[in-house]
Amino acid sequence: MPGFELFGAEEQKEVQDVLDNGVLMRYGFDPMRKGHHKALELERDLADRMQSKYAQVVSSGTAALTVALASAGIGSGDEVIMPTFTFVASFEAILSVGAIPILCDIDDTLTLDPRAVKECITDKTKAVMPVHMCGSMADLSALKNICDTHNLVLLEDACQAIGATYAGKPLGSYGDLGCFSFDYVKTVTCGEGGGIITNSEIYADRAHKYQDHGHDHIGSDRGAETHPFLGYNYRLSELHAAVGIAQLRKLDDVLAIQEKNYSILRNALSNIPEVTFRKVPDTGIESYAFLSIFLPTEDLARNTHKALGAHGVDACFYWYDNNWHYYKKWDHLIAQKSLSKLSQEIQTGLQQNNRSFDPSDVWMGRTISCLIKLNWTEEEVTERASKMVEAIKSVLTKSKSVL
């Protein structure tokens, strides 16, 4: 999955352009740039690749979510529905604009369960934020119908699924806004960075201002620009953007490699009746960044995860016990451990999350996800598949012998 596996002359050339002109900031200093505007170029390329009218690059995936939420007018006291399985950045971004993250159960897509979403909606709900974890997506058609019915914003967190599609559209482009992460271990990396896409001129106009202290970017004198509204600093540097330009050009090649390696592993595991696979919604095509499997029980999943490691199969994750990606270990959110005082609205709103999420536990307790790497040879992937089959069968055999 990680784009850093394919660093080469392309990235070096783009970065050297920036170093040669010496302008590391995306705004101003036009006479020195020699025609190079890397952040702007990356935005154009991203919008084109994601079949969207507008794109805005920012300093991180977290910043992308924050700017997207603010651009949609979501703020103090508003509720945003998000899944129990995601990265902590999802709720951090919601909190950063003064809104309240409302945790919601997942289903066998490992993303938001539309039925659970309906039950979470209140008169304070302003947005639904599906998180397309591990390269695949939510049932976006069902979620869009819910959002249309209740006049809610559909914000796609596609930070882990760039390149996947739904209903023939790139993930991120189906909802009102879509967000990507370009950090070091993402499919497309800038080292650090993120992106927002939208077809809304209003959201796009707000985003480019908000991410740069509210600057209107009118005219050629940055010091004379006005500030239509408050903003913050989420700018992406020219150096980071330069890396992203070269990386985005490689996306289709990366997806092809991931699909090839994924398919070898999945075909091997398909011969084990007890192993089932994450559901990909109809019309969806995943990015093949991870292979996610279900074991029949939590105990079998735990033991299988250990066995995979013992058989030399690395980069496999048992999310149920993960500190960063599953609600059970988000004590700092549930207990409201903040360096600064949270508003009374947030303190009260967060109490809604002090409950059990049994449906999520059932799915996550049985899930193992294995990262798909780009630099494996076909021989290495085939050997890995054999080791995975051996590890899983050893656990299943032992379980049957106990019974």
> Per residue in 59-101, pLDDT tens?
999 999 999 999 999 999 999 999 999 999 999 999 999 999 9
- Contact between residue 11 and residue 239 where contact means Cβ atoms under 8 Å apart: no
- Contact between residue 78 and residue 124 where contact means Cβ atoms under 8 Å apart: yes
Q: Domains in the chain, please, with CATH?
A: 3-251 (3.40.640.10), 252-402 (3.90.1150.10)
pLDDT of residue 259: 98
**Given 38, 126, 144, 186, the catalytic residue:** 186
Query: How far apart (Å, rounded) are the C-alpha atoms in residues 106 and 112?
Result: 4
Res. 2 pLDDT band, cuts 50 70 90: confident
- Contact between residue 164 and residue 136 where contact means Cβ atoms under 8 Å apart: yes
Nearest to 25 by CA among 55, 52, 59: 59
Other Cβ atoms less than 10 A from the Cβ of 163: the count is 25
Nearest to 55 by CA among 275, 353, 64: 64
370-390 average pLDDT score: 97
Report CA 56 to chain centroid distance, whole Å: 16
pLDDT of residue 75: 97
Query: How far apart (Å, rounded) are the C-alpha atoms in residues 145 and 41?
Result: 34
Nearest to 301 by CA among 273, 325, 320, 328: 320
Dihedral sign for Cα atoms in the order 216, 217, 220, 225: positive
Q: In the annotation, is 53 catalytic? A: no
C-alpha distance across the termini of the chain, in Å: 39
Res. 402 pLDDT band, cuts 50 70 90: low
Instruction: Indicate if the pLDDT at residue 298 is higher than 70.
Output: yes
Q: How many CA atoms lie within 13 A of 324 on its CB side?
A: 4
Instruction: Indicate if the pLDDT at residue 390 is higher than 80.
Output: yes
- State the average pLDDT for the chain: 97
pLDDT of residue 401: 75
Nearest-10 crossing angle of helices 238-249, 38-49: 30
pLDDT of residue 220: 87
